[in-house]
């Protein structure tokens, strides 16, 4: 399987795996070994993900791209434990994913704020659930935790919206709040399922920059599912391309543009070349879904 993956390097850095953040040892934060997922049983079963192996190192920012319906989101849901592999093993933080050995933050394309809570309380929800915050929640919800929520809101440009209800916010604002909720409990693994997909171009680019800033500040391991190749190139340190359904990883490329990256960078020749190559891969994957199967 691994032999079929091609390793590509762009710009100045050496090919191969991205260097781990802050000199930590290369321990995989997420590891899928021959994991596959089939929904339903018998004649009605739908293969969502063909046998896939994927290793994500601690502190890496990996983007998953591919044609729609190829199982990108399924990989994300495997890593979060929302879906169990039909076969194979999914290990997160050194343990089987159900053990929740790593603090996980997750943001979906749909912000799904709880409509009966204010933005502030929505964002503080993970603190109410996840240890060690959980045991302090009653004491700190009007103290340190609220300050934390307000600080994060200010960071994404939502200062002064803490007391509003979700329906009083626009789509872009909700998505910012969604990011805050995914980050407030300082997760070591951040799973993002097209969180910027429904936004307009300018809001999206603004949020990319905020996302990059947050990642550089906290350095969680990130797995981002996206349709947007510019987004993948701007944010990720590594891009995995998937084939059409049932998906598997057909290309694995390191992205080594210097950080912090700027939106202007996404129009430079190197970046455009990367974009172009990924695009062709996906177009091929869409038209001949089983080309690799016969090889």
Partner 1 sequence: MTNVAFRQKLWSAGLIVLFFAGWEAFCLISGMSDLILPRPSQVFATLWQRMPILWPHILQTLGTTMTGFVLGVALGVVLGAVIGVSRTAYDTVYPLLIGFSSIPKVAVVPIFVLWFGSGTVPAVLTSLSICFFPIVVNIATGLATTEPEMEDVLKALGASKLDILWNVGLPRTMPFFFASLKVAITYAFVGTVLAETVASNRGIGNVMMSASSNFNVPLVFAGLFILAGLGVALYAAFSLIEGRVTGWATRKNDLIAA
Q: Characterize the bridge pairing of strands 46-57 and 28-39.
A: antiparallel
Task: Please report whether residue 170 would count as binding partner 1 according to CB under 8 A.
Answer: no
Hey, what are 46's tokens? Answer: 């739908």
Task: Please report whether residue 104 would count as binding partner 1 according to CB under 8 A.
Answer: yes
Give the 3-state secondary structure percentages of the chain, helix then strand then coil, rounded to 5. 40, 20, 40
DSSP tag of 247 = B
Rank residues 18 and 73 by Cβ distance to partner 1 and give the closer one.
Answer: 73
Applying CB under 8 A, which part among 115-123, 198-206, 252-260, 261-269 lies near partner 1? 115-123
Applying CB under 8 A, which part among 18-26, 43-51, 75-83, 152-160 lies near partner 1? 75-83
Task: Please report whether residue 130 would count as binding partner 1 according to CB under 8 A.
Answer: yes
Contact, 292 vs 249, CB < 8 A? Answer: no
Cα(288)–Cα(293) distance, integer angstroms: 10
Q: Which residue in 52, 73, 80, 266 binds partner 1 (CB under 8 A)?
A: 80
Cα(54)–Cα(37) distance, integer angstroms: 14
Task: Please report whether residue 184 would count as binding partner 1 according to CB under 8 A.
Answer: no
Hey, what are 55's tokens? Answer: 């290793």
Rank residues 8 and 165 by Cβ distance to partner 1 and give the closer one.
Answer: 165
Contact, 255 vs 238, CB < 8 A? Answer: yes
Q: Which residue in 114, 144, 216, 283 binds partner 1 (CB under 8 A)?
A: 114
Contact, 58 vs 92, CB < 8 A? Answer: no
Cα(255)–Cα(11) distance, integer angstroms: 8
Q: Which residue in 14, 46, 89, 129 binds partner 1 (CB under 8 A)?
A: 129
Question: From the CB of 113, what's the least distance to partner 1, in Å?
Answer: 9
Question: From the CB of 196, what's the least distance to partner 1, in Å?
Answer: 17
Question: From the CB of 51, what's the least distance to partner 1, in Å?
Answer: 24
Question: From the CB of 268, what's the least distance to partner 1, in Å?
Answer: 36
Q: Which of 281, 235, 242, 241 is nearest to 259 (CA)?
A: 235
Contacts with partner 1 by CB under 8 A lie at 80-82, 100, 104, 106, 108, 110, 112, 114-117, 125-126, 128-130, 165, 167, 181, 185, 191
């Amino acid at each position: 399987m691994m032999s079929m993956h091609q390793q590509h390097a762009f710009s100045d850095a050496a090919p191969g795996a991205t260097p781990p953040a802050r000199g930590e040892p290369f321990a995989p934060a997420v590891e899928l070994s021959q994991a596959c997922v089939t929904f339903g049983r018998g004649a009605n079963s739908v293969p969502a993900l063909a046998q896939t192996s994927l290793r994500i190192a601690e502190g890496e920012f990996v983007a998953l791209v591919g044609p729609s319906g190829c199982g990108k989101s399924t990989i994300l849901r495997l890593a979060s434990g929302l879906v169990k592999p039909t076969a194979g093993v999914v290990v997160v933080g050194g343990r089987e994913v159900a053990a929740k050995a790593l603090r996980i933050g997750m943001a979906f394309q749909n912000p799904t704020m709880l409509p009966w809570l204010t933005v502030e309380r929505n964002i503080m929800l993970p603190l109410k659930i996840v240890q060690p915050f959980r045991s302090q929640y009653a004491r700190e919800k009007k103290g340190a935790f609220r300050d934390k929520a307000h600080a994060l809101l200010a960071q994404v440009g939502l200062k002064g919206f803490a007391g509003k209800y979700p329906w009083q916010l626009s789509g872009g604002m909700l998505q910012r709040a969604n990011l805050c909720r995914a980050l407030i409990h300082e997760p070591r693994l951040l799973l993002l399922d097209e969180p910027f997909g429904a936004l307009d171009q300018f809001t999206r680019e603004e949020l990319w920059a905020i996302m990059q800033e947050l990642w550089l500040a906290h350095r969680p391991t990130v797995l981002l599912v996206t349709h947007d190749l510019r987004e993948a190139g701007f944010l990720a340190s590594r891009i995995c391309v998937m084939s059409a359904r049932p998906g598997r990883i057909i290309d694995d490329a390191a992205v080594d543009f210097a950080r912090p990256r700027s939106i202007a960078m996404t129009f430079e020749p190197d970046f455009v070349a990367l974009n172009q190559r990924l695009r062709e891969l996906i177009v091929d994957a869409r038209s001949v879904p089983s080309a690799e199967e016969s090889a």
